[in-house]
């Protein structure tokens, strides 16, 4: 039997088993080291960060600094900046990785799939033809073809140029 090791996934399982221990969207921007926090870009009212537990290489999130649970709780200025950061992130992903498409979405509330239901955020997932195969269906395993470190470096450079 073949085994695919995804040891980084154990951290997510431990966090998920404990429930929400805090809010990553509040805690990570407070860190001084953007590389450690995987923050790719900062705006005045929001920021872009790489998802530590991605569905695909380059899966990132865009969030306001302010801790609010839903889009309708954002000020018009926050909503505009979050959307501008989302568009900038998509342009940067296109430049760095040439995806064939994107899934862009917001999960509002736990029932909708929100892992951090108290802090609204937008997911941007780059997609490529053929990136979905039999592994998730048959083996309940997703194969991620790039390391977080490499994706961060390439995407950070693209974000700075965009």
CB–CB of 48/60 below 8 Å?
Answer: yes
What's the whole-number mean pLDDT along residues 41-46? 98
Which strand (E) or helix (H) includes residue 16? helix 9-18
The predicted structure's pLDDT at residue 110: 83
pLDDT-based confidence at residue 60 (cuts at 50, 70, 90): very high
pLDDT-based confidence at residue 61 (cuts at 50, 70, 90): very high
The predicted structure's pLDDT at residue 27: 96
User: Bridge-partner residues for 63, per DSSP?
Assistant: 47
* Neighbour tally for 158: CB within 10 Å: 20
Phi, psi angle pair for 31, to nearest 5°: -70, 150
The predicted structure's pLDDT at residue 22: 85
CB–CB of 55/125 below 8 Å?
Answer: yes
Active site residues: 121
The predicted structure's pLDDT at residue 109: 84
CB–CB of 120/73 below 8 Å?
Answer: yes
> pTM for this one?
0.80
pLDDT (tens digit per residue) in 84-143:
999 999 999 999 999 999 999 998 888 877 778 899 999 999 999 877 654 554 455 556
Structural domain boundaries of the chain? 25-161
CATH code for residues 25-161: 3.30.428.10
The predicted structure's pLDDT at residue 138: 47
């Amino acid at each position: 039997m073949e085994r695919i090791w995804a040891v980084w996934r154990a951290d997510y399982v431990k966090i998920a088993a404990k429930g929400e221990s805090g809010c990553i969207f509040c805690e990570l921007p407070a860190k001084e080291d953007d590389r450690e926090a995987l923050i790719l870009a900062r705006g005045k009212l929001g920021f872009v960060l790489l998802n530590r537990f991605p569905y695909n290489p380059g899966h990132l999130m865009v969030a306001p600094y302010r801790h609010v649970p839903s889009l309708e709780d954002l000020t018009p200025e926050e909503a505009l900046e979050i959307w501008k950061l989302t568009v900038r992130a998509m342009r940067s992903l296109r430049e760095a990785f040439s995806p064939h498409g994107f899934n862009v979405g917001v999960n509002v509330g736990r029932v909708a799939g929100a892992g951090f239901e108290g802090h609204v955020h937008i997911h941007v997932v780059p997609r490529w033809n053929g990136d979905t195969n039999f592994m998730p269906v048959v083996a309940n395993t997703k194969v991620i073809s790039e390391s977080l470190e490499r994706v961060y470096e390439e995407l950070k450079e693209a974000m700075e140029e965009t």
